Structure 1
Amino acid sequence: MEKTTIELENAAQTLKLLGDKTRLTIMGLVKGGECCVCEFVEVLQMSQPSISQHLRKLRDAGLVKEQRKGQWIFYSLNSSHPTYPIIQQVLEQIPDQKEKLRALEEAGLRIQCD
C-alpha cells in the first residue's frame, strides 16, 4: 500500500488552524457528527459572531463541511480533506469532546435550533 504524503504547506496550514484552542475544540466536537452554531455557542460560552469567525476559517480551509437545514447551518468534519490523517491523529490525542455535547443534551440545550 502506497503512503500518500501531505504537502508541507497544507500540513502547516492545518496545524496552524488546529493550534487555536477554540478551533481545536470545534474540531473535537464535530469529530463524532455534525453540530450547529448554537451548540458551539453553548459549549464554548462564546458569542455567535466569534464562533462563526472560527468556523469560517475552518470552512475556508476545507477542514469542515457545512450543510444547511432550514435556516440553520450544521458543520461536520471533512474526512476527504488531504490533511485529514493529521487531523485524525491530533483529535485522537485530545480529550473526547462528546462529554460536552452530552451535558448539553442533559441540560435540554442540544440542537435548540430546530
Structure 2
Amino acid sequence: MLNIEKAAVVLKLLGDKTRLTMIKILDSHDCCVCEFVEIFKMSQPAISQHIRKLKDMGIVGEKRKGQWIIYSLNKESEYYLFIQTLLKDLPDQDFKLKQLEQQGLRISCE
C-alpha cells in the first residue's frame, strides 16, 4: 500500500493528459518514442521528456532492441497496482495505434 505522499506524486505525474494516455497505451502495448511522436503530434524531445518523468518514477521501463528503445509499463514498480486501479476505469486507447496502422504511419522499430 502506498502512503499519501507517494500517491500524490503519482497522481500529479499522471495528471498530465499526455502522460496518462501514454500509460494507458503502455498498459497493453510496448511502444517507442517514434510511435508516441505520431500519436500525439509532438516533437521527439517533448515526448522524451514525458517518458523521462515516467521512467524517473519507475513507472515505465525500457529495453533496447538494436538501435531502438522500447518502453513498457513497469510491472515491478511499487506503483503498478495503484496505477492499474486508475487505468481500469479509463477508456481503451488502442484505437490510436490502429489509426496509425490504417494511415500507414505505425512505425516498426525492427
In which range does the TM-score fall when normalised by the shorter chain? over 0.9
Separation (CA, whole Å) in 2 of partners of 1:9 and 1:73: 31
| Structure 1: tracts of 5 or more residues without a match | none
The number of aligned residues is 110
Per-residue CA deviations over 1:93-112 (Å, capped at 9, x if unaligned) read 22211010111112222224
Structure 2 residue aligned with 1:54: 50
1:113 aligns with 2:92: no
TM-superposed deviation, 1:65? 0.4
The partner residue of 1:88 within 76, 84, 98 is 84
RMSD in angstroms over aligned alpha carbons? 1.2
Structure 2 residue aligned with 1:37: 33
Identity rate of aligned residues, in percent?
57
Per-residue CA deviations over 1:52-78 (Å, capped at 9, x if unaligned) read 000000001000001111111111001
TM-superposed deviation, 1:33? 2.2
State the one-letter code of the partner of 1:12: A
Give 4+ residue runs of structure 1 displaced > 4 Å after superposition: none
Provide TM-score, normalisation by structure 1: 0.90
